[in-house]
Amino acid sequence: MRKRLTFHISDTTKFKEQLLFWSKKFQCVCILDSHEVNLKENSKMEYNTYELVAGIDALQIIEPEQNCFDNLKAEIDFAKDWWFGYLGYDLKNEIENLSSDNQDGLDMPQMNFFRPRWVFLLDVDTLLVHYFEEEFSEEDIYNLVMNIQNISVPKEKEVTVAEIKSRISREEYLKAIRQLKEHIRIGDIYEVNFCQEFYAEDTYIRPRQMFRKLMKVSPTPYSCFYRMGEKYLLSASPERYLKKVGRKIISQPIKGTAKRGANEEEDKLIKENLFSDAKERAENIMIVDLVRNDLSRTAAKDSVIVEELCGIYTFPQVHQMISTIVSELKEDVHFVEAIRQTFPMGSMTGAPKVRAMKLIEKYESTKRGLFSGAVGYITPDGDFDFNVVIRSIQYNALNHYLSFMVGGAITMQSNPEKEYEECMLKAKAIVKVLKE
C-alpha cells in the first residue's frame, strides 16, 4: 500500500535540477514539468494540477506489441496504482486499418508504461512523495528527500550536435504541400498535419544536460523528460492532448502559430492579428469539430462543450491559438476508452482523420513513432493527463541517432512557402539547443 509524506521545498527550481540529476541512476524515468511561470497569465491552463509530476524507477513495465490498449486497461485495473508512460503515434494501426512503413532510425516501442517505485508531486513549494510502506519507512523517505536536496549538480562539459540533416529538401517539402492541397481541392480531405524530420547520426549527447538547455530556451506547460533504458524523449510541448478529472475529460488542441514580437506593443498587434486570421481560425475550428466528434463517442448525452474557442496564449518562442473542449465520461465506459477513441489527437492528424492519416503515411518520409504521440500519467483513481509530443528531441543512445520533427496544418488556404517558414520557426528553439 502506498503512503504519502509532505515536505516544504524552499527553492523549487534547484530541487527540479537535483531530482533530474538524481534520476540518472534509474532506467525508467518520467518527469513532467508545467513551469508554473507560464500558467499564471493563461486562464485555461488552470487545469494543471501540479507544477511537477514525476515517476522514478520501475516496479513493473508494460510494453505490449499488440492489443496495447486492452493490455494497458487490464494492468491498470489489476494494480490500481500510479502509471507513467507514453502512447506512440503508430498505435493508430491498432485502432484503424493503417500501417507505418516509413524510415525509422529510433526504434521506439509503440507503447511503454511503468509503475514507479517513487512518485513526486510538486505543488508550488509543497512536495508530496508517494511510496510503498512495505518497502520504505518514513525515515527512509525523509532521508531520500534530504539527500536529493543536498546534491550538488555538477556542470557538465558542453556537448553539441555537429551536423543536423533534413530528411527531405525544401523543394520536396513544397511539392508535398502542393500535392496535399490537390487532395483538399478534390474533397478528399479538409485538413492534414504534415511533418518533416531533422536528424543527426553518430551523435553523443548528455540527455539531462540537453533537456535543461531546452527548458531554458523554451519552458512550456507540458514539458517532459522521459527515459526507458537507453532511449530518451526531451520534450518542450506546449500542448495538452487529454486530461481526466473525475468524470470530466478535457482536450486542448493547438492550431495557429505566430512568432513573438520585438516588444510588448508588437506582441499585442501580432496576437490580435492571429486571433482574427481567417486561415488560422479555420484550422483551429476544424480540429475543434473533430475533437468534439471524438469525445462524443464516450461522452454522456449533451455533455460535449467548447469552453474556449481560439484562445491566444503566449510562449517564449511563439503565440499559439488554443481551444478547450470538455465532456463528461459515460458511467459505464472505462477511461482508457476515452484515450483509444480520440487517439491520435486531431491536431496532429487532420480531417477526416483516417483519410488524413493515410495521406500522412504516403507523403511523409519518416515513421513518426513517439512524435505526435502522447506522454503522461494515470493516478490510482483513474484520472490522467497526457501531452502532445511536439517540439521534442528523441534520442537512441544505442545507435546514437537523434531526431526531431516539425510540421503544421495544411488547408486549402495554405501557402507552401509560408508553411515551410512556420516549420523553421518551430524548429528554431530545438536547433538553438543542439547547436549552442
Higher-confidence residue of 110 and 43: namely 110
**What pLDDT does 362 receive?**
97
Give me the mean pLDDT over the 115-123 stretch.
Answer: 97
pLDDT number for residue 1: 86
How far apart are alpha carbons 310 and 291 in whole angstroms? 14
Q: What is the 3-state secondary structure (H, E, C) of 376-425?
A: EEECCCCCEEEECCCCEEEEECCCCEEEEEEEEEECCCCCHHHHHHHHHH
Segment of 217-221, 257-261, 305-309 carrying the highest mean pLDDT = 305-309
Tell me the percentage of the chain whose pLDDT exceeds 90.
84
Q: How many CA within 13 A on the CB side of residue 11?
A: 8
Tell me what pLDDT residue 432 has: 83
Q: Where are the alpha helices (DSSP H) in 150-206?
A: 170-185
Estimate the share of the chain in helix, then strand, then coil, as percent rounded to the nearest 5. 35, 35, 30
What end-to-end distance do the CA atoms of the chain give, in Å?
Answer: 46
Question: Which residues lie below 8 Å from residue 40, measured CB to CB, with a gap of 6+?
Answer: none
Q: What is the pLDDT of residue 20?
A: 98
Residues with catalytic roles: 239, 255
Residues 144-189: tens digit of each pLDDT? 999 999 999 998 777 778 789 999 999 999 999 999 999 999 999 9
Instruction: Mark residue 400 as left, alpha or beta (left: phi above 0; alpha: psi -120 to 50; beta: remaining).
Output: left
Query: For residues 109 and 88, what is the distance between their CA atoms, to the nearest angstrom?
Result: 7
For residues 308 and 43, give the distance between their C-alpha atoms in angstroms, rounded to a whole number.
10
Q: Is the pLDDT of residue 38 over 70?
A: no
Q: What is the pLDDT of residue 43?
A: 57
Q: Which of 106, 184, 211 is nearest to 356 (CA)?
A: 184
Q: Which residues pair with 62 in a beta bridge?
A: 113
Q: What is the mean pLDDT of residues 127-134?
A: 97
Q: How far apart, in whole angstroms, are the C-alpha atoms of residue 334 and residue 193?
A: 29
Whether pLDDT at 94 is above 50: yes
From CA 8, how far away is CA 34, in angstroms rounded?
19
Tens of pLDDT along 367-392? 999 999 999 999 999 999 999 999 99
Tell me the sheet residues that pair with 324.
Answer: 308
Q: Which long-range contacts (CB under 8 A, 24 or more apart) does 356-361 make?
A: 356/189, 356/191, 356/192, 356/193, 357/92, 357/96, 357/98, 358/98, 359/180, 359/183, 359/188, 359/189, 359/192, 360/192, 360/193, 360/194, 360/195, 361/98, 361/99, 361/100, 361/101, 361/102
Residue 40 pLDDT: 40
CB 377 within 8 A of CB 335: no
Name the residue type at position 163.
E
Q: What is the mean pLDDT of residues 97-114?
A: 96
In this predicted structure, what is the pLDDT of residue 161? 84
pLDDT given at position 39: 41
Residues linked to residue 85 through DSSP beta bridges, in sequence order: 113, 376
In the block, residue with C-alpha cell 487517439: 343
The string over 385-400, giving b where at least 16 C-beta atoms fall within 10 Å of a residue's C-beta and e elsewhere, is: bbbbbbbbbbbbbeee
Helix (H, G, I), strand (E, B) or coil at 102: coil
Tell me what pLDDT residue 315 has.
84
